[in-house]
């Protein structure tokens, strides 16, 4: 946890001390509801909130000081430092603190799979080191600095997921976090609407590789068409992972079981069979990337399985729950893009059940390729040939149309105009032994379908 004096804080943040109560600070907060005694409260401003309105609450909760953008309305208590921009000040403080910690830091990004890869790598490292990583999805311009500021001298290694919505954003996060190594899970069509081309998406993801020092390393998906391009843009060692002969971190002999996946791993002299408590070939890729980074950091391969045995992943990602009449519900509703939906359909194919049901919602931020990409997903549904396809949302209609055009029986395709309409239809349809996959973009809030199909008091299994 960061500790700093008033004068140091002002200097680091480029601010002016308005009032000095002579206290040192310990820890940072941006939420007056979670302030701990001695914290510095940063009054951040957003579209729908202004932290300056809560400075008084922060002081009452024990904050020793506040970093603000305006003098007016600041309560007459606690130390106050005035800066031009509180978010920029928070980022400067995080960069200053990171520079004091000479530990390896692995940055992770990609169009899909980055959160799960982060969770796997963190779990692997827990078995061998004191690891720190961002919780949940704290992967943006606020979450990354907060994660860095909660690092301590006791940590051996840090794992940071890095998200982006435009060019330059990952580069900015890297300038703060100074990663020594990286993983790019893949490059796909996510954020096409904002970035306008696959070239730009690859450039944006590749900013992580470009930021690495020459003594560092970057793990790249050996079967993703953009990996050679990214490799050409970094001075760090590039390592491919996958199933092909070009992969230095290679998987083979994959077997899928009701509750886990098994595969053989060969990497840097290690050879062994691993049991991954997750479904899907896409999660084998995620595990390969994490295992590769773990081994390249110098940790023992003998502890890989120990780390996987303790793995827990961030919520609403292929979570298995029990639904009405004993049906199995697969909650994969955190987010969706075409490639991740196709991967999840592969998981649905693996799971044994009386009948298989795919419930798919709109995929956002695809811009001009939205219709084509939804139809592409529909073709994948057709190849899976589930007993029922339920679509929700205007764009998701194209999934159904794509499935029917590919040859799926139209009688097995249902479109719900609303979440409630889809739930009511599914309640009449699903029965004991059925397996139901639910997935869609975050803005669709498809978890409402999961809730509608669950028994009261249901728990994850």
On whether the CB atoms of residues 170 and 141 are closer than 8 A, the answer is: no
314 in any annotated domain: no
Tokens of 90: 């928070």
Residue 337 lies in a domain: yes
Neighbours of 451 (CB within 10 A): 14
End-to-end CA distance of the chain: 35
Residues 283 and 424 in one domain: no
Helix %, strand %, coil % for the chain, to 5?
Answer: 40, 25, 40
Last residue of a domain, one of 54, 84, 114: 84
Q: Give the domain-ending residue among 309, 339, 373.
A: 309
Residue 459 within any structural domain of the chain: no
CATH assignment of the domain containing 41: 3.40.1390.10
The answer to whether residue 193 is domain-embedded is yes
- Output the pLDDT for position 456: 54
**302 and 163 inside one domain:** yes
Provide the token pair at 409: 């029986």
Let me know if residue 92 belongs to a domain.
Answer: no
In CATH, what number is assigned to the domain containing residue 372? Answer: 3.90.190.20
Distance, CA of 398 to CA of 369 (rounded, Å): 12
pLDDT of residue 461: 39
Check the CA dihedral 97-99-103-105 and report its sign: positive
Distance CA 221, CA 289 (A): 8
Find tokens 């990497």 and name the residue. 267
Task: Please tell me whether residues 73 and 113 are part of one structural domain.
Answer: no
Cα 228 from Cα 308, distance rounded (Å): 30
Nearest to 365 by CA among 444, 439, 419: 444
Domain encompassing residue 61? 3-84
Domain count across the chain: 3
* DSSP state letter for 452: H
Q: What is the mean pLDDT of each run of 10 residues along the chain (461 residues)?
A: 89 96 91 96 93 95 96 89 98 97 97 96 96 92 97 97 96 98 97 96 98 98 98 98 97 93 97 97 97 98 97 92 95 96 95 95 98 98 97 98 98 96 97 97 97 69 39
- 326 and 446 in a single domain? The answer is yes
CA 273, CA 253: separation in Å to the nearest integer? 9
Domain membership of residue 461 (yes or no) is no
How far apart CA 180 and CA 167 sit, in angstroms, is 21
d(CA 33, CA 61): 8
Q: Say yes or no: 267 and 412 in one domain.
A: no
40 - beta bridge partners?
Answer: 28, 65
Tell me, yes or no, whether 329 and 305 share the same domain. Answer: no
Residue 150 DSSP symbol: T
Of 315, 307, 13, 297, which Cα lies nearest the Cα of 158? 297
Structure tokens at 39: 């914290």
pLDDT of residue 459: 45
């Amino acid at each position: 946890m960061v500790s700093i004096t008033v004068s140091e804080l002002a200097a680091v943040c480029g601010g002016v001390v308005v009032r000095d109560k002579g206290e040192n600070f310990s820890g940072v907060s941006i939420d007056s509801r979670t302030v701990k005694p001695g914290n510095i409260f940063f009054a951040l401003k957003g579209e729908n909130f202004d932290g300056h309105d809560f400075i008084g609450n922060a002081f009452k909760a024990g904050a020793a000081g506040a970093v603000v953008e305006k003098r007016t309305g600041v309560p007459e208590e606690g130390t106050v430092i005035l800066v031009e921009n509180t978010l920029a000040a928070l980022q400067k403080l995080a960069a200053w603190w990171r520079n004091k910690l000479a530990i390896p830091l692995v940055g992770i990004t990609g169009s899909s799979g980055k959160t799960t890869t982060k969770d796997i790598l963190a779990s692997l490292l827990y078995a061998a080191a004191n690891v720190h990583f961002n919780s949940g999805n704290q992967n943006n311009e606020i979450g990354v600095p907060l994660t860095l500021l909660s690092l301590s001298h006791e940590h051996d290694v840090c794992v940071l997921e890095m998200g982006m919505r435009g060019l330059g954003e990952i580069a900015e996060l890297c300038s703060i976090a100074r990663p020594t190594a990286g993983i790019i899970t893949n490059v796909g069509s996510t954020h096409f609407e904002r970035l306008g081309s696959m070239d730009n998406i690859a450039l944006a993801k590749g900013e992580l590789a470009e930021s690495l020092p020459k003594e560092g390393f970057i793990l790249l998906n050996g079967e993703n068409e953009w990996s050679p391009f990214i490799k050409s843009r970094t001075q760090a060692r590039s390592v491919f992972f996958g199933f092909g002969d070009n992969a230095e971190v290679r998987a083979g002999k994959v077997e899928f079981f009701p509750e886990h996946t098994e595969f053989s791993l060969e990497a840097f002299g290690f050879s062994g069979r691993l049991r991954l408590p997750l479904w899907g070939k896409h999660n084998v890729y995620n595990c390969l990337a994490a295992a590769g980074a773990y081994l390249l950091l110098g940790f023992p391969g003998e502890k890989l399985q120990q780390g996987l045995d303790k793995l827990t992943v961030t919520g609403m990602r292929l979570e298995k729950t029990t639904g009405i009449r004993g049906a199995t519900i697969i909650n994969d509703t955190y987010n969706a893009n075409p490639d991740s939906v196709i991967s999840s359909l592969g998981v649905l194919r693996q799971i044994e059940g009386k009948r298989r049901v795919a419930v798919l919602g709109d995929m956002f931020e695809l811009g001009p390729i939205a219709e084509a990409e939804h139809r592409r997903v529909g073709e994948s549904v057709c190849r899976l040939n589930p007993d029922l396809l339920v679509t929700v949302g205007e764009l998701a209609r194209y999934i159904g149309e794509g499935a029917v055009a590919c040859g799926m029986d139209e009688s097995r395709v249902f479109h719900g105009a609303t979440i409630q309409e889809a739930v009511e239809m599914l309640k009449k349809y699903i029965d004991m032994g059925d397996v139901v996959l639910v997935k869609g973009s975050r803005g669709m809030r498809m978890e409402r379908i999961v809730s509608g199909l669950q028994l009261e008091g249901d728990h994850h299994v």
